[in-house]
Amino acid sequence: MIVTIPELLDSSALSKISDWMEQAEWISGAHTAGRNAVHHKSNREMDQQSEQWKKINSLVVST
């Protein structure tokens, strides 16, 4: 289930997140898949070791 929270982030924060997402390295979703899902998962994910992911995570968690 997806829950939306209107106006959780202001336009400045959203702009920063958008910029960071454009700069980020995106890796195979198989990287985070479990043993049974690794051959079926075909999405791309932001590398959680990247500076962009750390910045986004910090911004969202601090809100």
Q: First CA to last CA across the chain, in angstroms? A: 21
In a domain, 48, yes or no: yes
CA distance 48 to 22: 15
Domain count, the chain: 1
pLDDT tens, residue by residue, 21-55: 999 999 887 777 777 777 777 778 999 999 999 99
CA distance 47 to 57: 12
In a domain, 24, yes or no: yes
Give the residue with greater pLDDT, 2 vs 29: 2
In a domain, 37, yes or no: yes
In a domain, 43, yes or no: yes
Q: What is the span of the domain harbouring residue 19?
A: 11-61
Amino acid code (one letter) for 48:
Q
In a domain, 32, yes or no: yes
Q: Quick check: 11 pLDDT over 90?
A: yes
CA distance 63 to 46: 21
In a domain, 3, yes or no: no
In a domain, 50, yes or no: yes
CA 25 to chain centre: 11
In a domain, 6, yes or no: no
